Amino acid sequence: MLRMFVVHGRVQGVGFRWFVKTEAARLGLSGWTRNTQSGTVEVLAEGEIKALDDLERSLQQGPSASRVSAVQVTQAPPADGPLPHPFRVL
């Protein structure tokens, strides 16, 4: 399954993307994370449903320096090709 997460709050400049990479690797997920111009962090992840649910819970907490105000979750359309594995920071 493939999911897109958009994380809102104080999530840039606090090590959030590296936190995501570590969590995704621990959960065996493929995909990527990146900062956006609007100040959010996007995460595209593919894997087992339980692992994606666990990642969502981790995103809601974030690293200690972050302050997550919301996590939007959508089921992403199928990717054009395989997602990066191991998980990458863009």
3-class SS of residue 37: coil
3-class SS of residue 63: coil
Spot the catalytic one: 10, 34, 35, 88: 35
Every domain of the chain and the residues it spans: 2-77
> Please, which pLDDT band fits residue 85 given cuts at 50, 70 and 90?
confident
Has 17 been annotated as catalytic?
Answer: yes
Query: Alpha-carbon distance 58 to 40, whole Å?
Result: 16
36-73 per-position pLDDT tens digit: 999 999 999 999 999 999 999 999 999 999 999 999 99
Integer Rg of the chain from CA: 12
> Please, which pLDDT band fits residue 75 given cuts at 50, 70 and 90?
confident
Spot the catalytic one: 10, 17, 26, 67: 17
The CATH class that applies to domain 2-77 reads alpha beta
